[in-house]
């Protein structure tokens, strides 16, 4: 019988259990936060600088399904500057980014301006010095997930990502405190 989990991944945590290279600084691995059963894998990844919802499972077929375009992934993104309607329209319609050394046009997606997501538990940490100017928040909902895609997309329209929080995958939402783990049932995914 397979087991499934959701985890509120903190900043500075790698989305893996084993790291072959030399870890710099205080980076953490998934197994440091919970005793997952043998064979548990992250469904997709969040880079070490990103935080939020990470799903884990012992079921490879379920992992493949959730990573597919059948599941929406929603991100809350704090960007440098006050994002313009023009930039949001470009994001919605697809922007050209680099992926594996080639140019890639992202698929159309949903983008809306939001306030700072107070309903989500976030670590209080300094993102940057306020002398660098204002920032704003948007929600981006995708059905694809290339390497560092959201960061590349916001950079391509002139508003670099300062903070990236995955809020939702399919119908599973981030409703945990930072570093908390909760068990899921297979029907939670479907």
Residues with a catalytic annotation lie at 47
Retrieve residue 159's tokens.
């508003």
Beta strands 161-169 and 51-57: pairing type? parallel
Select from 6, 35, 8 the least CA-distant residue to 179.
8
In a 10 Å sphere around its CB, with 0-12 CB exposed, 13-18 middle and 19+ buried, how is residue 57 labelled?
buried
Is 139:114 a contact under the CB 8 Å cutoff?
yes
- According to DSSP, the residues that pair with 102 across neighbouring strands are 99
Q: How far apart are CA 181 and CA 190, in angstroms?
A: 20
CA-closest candidate to residue 122, choices 8, 2, 7: 8
Distances (CA, A) of 42 to 13, 28, 64, 129, 142: 13, 14, 11, 33, 19
């Amino acid at each position: 019988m397979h087991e499934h989990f959701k985890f509120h991944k903190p900043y500075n945590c790698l989305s893996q259990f084993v790291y072959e290279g030399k870890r710099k600084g205080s980076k953490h691995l998934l197994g440091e936060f919970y005793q997952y059963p043998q064979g548990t894998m992250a469904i997709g990844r969040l880079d070490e600088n990103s935080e939020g919802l990470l799903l884990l499972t012992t079921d490879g077929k379920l992992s493949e399904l959730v990573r597919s375009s059948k599941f929406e992934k929603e991100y809350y993104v704090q960007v440098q500057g006050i994002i313009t309607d023009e930039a949001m329209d470009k994001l919605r319609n697809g922007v050209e980014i680099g992926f594996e050394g080639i140019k890639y046009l992202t698929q159309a997606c949903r983008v809306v301006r939001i306030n700072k997501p107070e309903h989500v538990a976030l670590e209080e940490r300094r993102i940057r010095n306020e002398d660098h100017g204002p920032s704003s928040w948007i929600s981006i909902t995708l059905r694809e997930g290339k390497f560092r895609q959201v960061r590349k997309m916001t950079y391509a329209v002139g508003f670099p990502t300062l903070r990236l929080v995955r809020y939702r995958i399919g119908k599973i939402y981030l409703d945990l405190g930072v570093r908390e783990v909760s068990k899921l049932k297979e029907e939670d995914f479907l």
